[in-house]
Structure 1
């Protein structure tokens, strides 16, 4: 059985005119392969080790680390996991060896029967999302900053103001992931359930004539 455990919910709060407090969601996938998705800031190593320990997992038990993109709050503790293969955005590596997977051509990276990594550019041009089939929860999308948090469904300014290198692609991929998933773990907020209304809202935001 594949289990998805949110170790920490992400957050993002403006604390001044030019300052913010932010960290990403950090997720553990336990199954045929143990996977950590997004490793928070470089100051969070002990938090991650402690959270893994509460789930009876040690860093050396992790088979894959997936950073949904390369921003500092998503890669800060990748070096805790030296036995793991690392996927950072479109880059797949182990030690100094790099595997040229064609994410840029739209091809998914299959980790096992229940887990795949799909390209979802927008926030950055090399963003990825982890799609997990988990019983009894259904399909869970660990989406990084493709979604900032639940509130950005109705208020797209939230994700636009967080930064988007390609807003058109991001809108399309937000709708695509919502159509695939029963639940979404966003980059900077708690997990939320995907409803039919959410799917329709995201599709309307894309619109029928959005250019590629």
Structure 2
């Protein structure tokens, strides 16, 4: 698969073992509370859970909550960060699958962004995510539309970290080495491919929905 939108660059990916403990930044840091997975079973089923990520700084932003089976783990991981659910001001569900939004009910006081819906309690706020425009949380953190896996997938872009720009990508990327396997899970592979290519040009680190975060390396061609 050609990973470059720009013929002047060669793009490669590599897993970031050294960053799994967290990425510091100013004003926001990013940490993975639980690494997602997707594993085929011998009976034809598969086991899957989504990555849970936390962005901390002026506001605490949780990206995906895992499945409902992750409730106690999520509460424990937040406590390790000196947070309670009430201390999380924004919760982003990258899309509506159960392994990504299974614990939304823990955060009734947060602004909820699920796909292209933005709500505060039962009050839904206008936005242009469905029209392809980002939703700004502040100058450093934004929710961007990345449809394909489902029609209204979103990702979260964080600028100014020690590792550069971080994209918490949901299932735009399944994992670092998903090659073409993601296509079988995509509602619109052509549209998702466009989003993947743009992500590889814009982000320095990508946190996928079901695997270890990875670096993006862009090398100018002579």
What is the TM-score with the length of structure 1 in the denominator? Answer: 0.89
In 2, Cα distance between equivalents of 1:29 and 1:84: 14
- Picking from 56, 61, 65, the partner of 2:87 is 61
| Aligned-residue CA RMSD (Å) | 1.5
> SS of 1:130's equivalent?
strand
Q: Which has the higher contact order (CA 8 A, sep 6+)?
A: 2
Report matched runs for 1:1-212 at 5 Å: 1-152=27-178, 155-156=179-180, 158-161=181-184, 163-196=185-218
What is the TM-score with the length of structure 2 in the denominator? Answer: 0.85
Deviation digits for residues 55-106 of structure 1 (CA, Å, limit 9, x no counterpart): 1111100010000000110000011112200000011111111113111211
> SS of 2:130's equivalent?
helix
The equivalent of 1:205 in structure 2 is none
> Where in structure 2 are there 5+ consecutive unaligned residues?
1-26
> Where in structure 1 are there 5+ consecutive unaligned residues?
201-212
Deviation digits for residues 160-201 of structure 1 (CA, Å, limit 9, x no counterpart): 12x11111110000011111100000000010001127x99x
> SS of 1:194's equivalent?
strand
- Ranges of 4+ aligned residues in structure 1 off by more than 2 Å: none
In 2, Cα distance between equivalents of 1:61 and 1:16: 42
> SS of 1:112's equivalent?
coil
Question: What's the offset of the Cα at 1:43?
Answer: 1.2
Deviation digits for residues 101-155 of structure 1 (CA, Å, limit 9, x no counterpart): 1112111000011100000100001000100013312100000000000002xx2
Count how many residue pairs are aligned between Structure 1 and Structure 2: 195
The equivalent of 1:206 in structure 2 is none
